[in-house]
Amino acid sequence: MARTAPIAAPWEPRFTQRHNLVIAILLGTLPVFAPWMGEVGIVPQLFILALFVILTGLPHGALDITLLQGAGVGPLGITAALFLYIGLAGLVVAGFEYFPTMALSLFLVVAWIHFGLGDTENLSGRHRLGECFARGGMAVAGPLLFHYDETLELFVILCGQESEASLLIVTQFANTFICPVWLGVCLLMVCLRLRAAVSRSFSSQDRNDNLLAAWEIVFLTLLFWLWPPLVAFGVYFCFIHSVRHLIQIAVARQPNSYRQAARWLWRESWPVVGLTLILGAVLMWYWGGGLNLDALILRLLFVGLAALTMPHMLLTYWWHRRGKPSPGEFLTKFGSYP
């Protein structure tokens, strides 16, 4: 009698739980190293950030075009979307060139919304709105509130010395009126999560999830308080936000095989990452004549992220609205899936 092959179990729940636990341990440990982080210069910080952006940040956006294919968009629609994607990214780069303060302000608002929505996928209603505001503002309001002078200096390097006066107005407004509200909402969300963590009306798994979420908000806030802004942003963006997005896309593609999902992620992302690095090299040549090393790397990183965040946010929002259909294979085919 033939033996029936076992059905593969979904890998996402256990993988996500382990990732959340690793993040909790990481965030609980990293603040201990704060006294030594202040001695690290800006150039080493930028090089480390650039390395991890290449390893996780770029791949999490490199899969965008597969979302269109998976949603049934044909070759003509994908071509039009590519032109729109590149055109929107080009407009952001031009904005930083000619209207830097406005472009930076728009990028920070878009990043706040995108990070918040991405980190609250399992929530709904008013609770999601509050936690979206708290989590999304972690990488934006945190540096401004806890390291105002250093963050303003980074903004001036990014936008140019001639933008210092307008940046001062924008950042002082945010620091006076927006950042304190963000910190208060963070405290409120932690209290709500802790209340749910001790409630008997939830299952033990739900209580654990709420406890881990409260821990994450508290220790991320502590990290942005104690660590330099660039390094704290790198931890959040590369190890939390980007990895969670990669998990989400991989699960949508292949929920029952982690290995096949990882293989698909690699094959679909590396050509786009390579092309992005080539474009970055072109921008490095274009900007390299008038900028020193730290300003050049900072502009490449954050103007590049800003240029990609706008179309990436719109596309992922559209994909979620379509019910998160299984992504396609835009660049490679390596096997069939059930």
- 39 pLDDT higher than 90: no
- 152 pLDDT higher than 50: yes
90-145, pLDDT tens digit by residue?
999 999 999 999 999 999 999 999 999 988 987 878 889 999 999 999 999 999 99
Q: What is the pLDDT of residue 102?
A: 96
Count the neighbouring beta carbons within 10 Å of the beta carbon of residue 310.
20
Highest mean pLDDT, choosing among 1-15, 60-74, 178-192: 178-192
- The mean pLDDT of 155-184, rounded to a whole number, is 96
Q: What is the pLDDT of residue 287?
A: 83
As a whole number of angstroms, the distance between CA 168 and CA 107 comes to 17
Is pLDDT larger for residue 105 or for residue 82?
105
DSSP per-residue string spanning 42-57:
HHHHHHHHHHHIIIII
As a whole number of angstroms, the distance between CA 261 and CA 117 comes to 23
Q: Please state, in angstroms and as integers, the Cα–Cα distance from residue 335 to each residue in 17, 22, 202, 267, 338, following that order.
A: 28, 32, 41, 12, 10
Which residues touch 294 (CB under 8 Å, ≥6 apart)? 42, 43, 46, 157
- 331 pLDDT higher than 80: no
Mean pLDDT estimate for the chain: 89
Which residues touch 29 (CB under 8 Å, ≥6 apart)? none
SS3 content of the chain, % helix, strand, coil (to 5): 80, 0, 20
Q: What is the pLDDT of residue 186?
A: 97
Count the neighbouring beta carbons within 10 Å of the beta carbon of residue 172.
13
- The two three-digit tokens of residue 285, written as one number: 């040549």
- 332 pLDDT higher than 70: no
As a whole number of angstroms, the distance between CA 333 and CA 11 comes to 22
Q: State the pTM of this model.
A: 0.90
DSSP per-residue string spanning 204-226:
HHHHHHHHHHHHHHHHHHHHHHH
- The mean pLDDT of 272-285, rounded to a whole number, is 88
158-168, pLDDT tens digit by residue?
999 999 999 99
Q: Which long-range contacts (CB under 8 A, 24 or more apart) does 25-32 make?
A: 26/235, 26/239, 27/215, 27/216, 27/219, 27/220, 27/222, 27/223, 27/235, 28/215, 28/219, 30/219, 30/223, 30/227, 30/235, 31/219, 31/222, 31/223, 31/226, 31/227
200-246, pLDDT tens digit by residue?
888 998 999 999 999 999 999 999 999 999 999 999 999 999 999 99
Instruction: Report the share of the chain in percent with pLDDT over 90.
Output: 59
Q: What is the pLDDT of residue 335?
A: 42
Instruction: Report the share of the chain in percent with pLDDT over 70.
Output: 95
298-309, pLDDT tens digit by residue?
999 999 999 988
- 337 pLDDT higher than 70: no
Is 59 in contact with 246 (CB distance < 8 Å)? yes
- The mean pLDDT of 147-167, rounded to a whole number, is 95
Measured at the CA of 241, the angle between CA 236 and CA 246, to 5 degrees, comes to: 140
Determine the residue type at 141. A
Radius of gyration of the chain from its Cα atoms, rounded to whole angstroms: 21
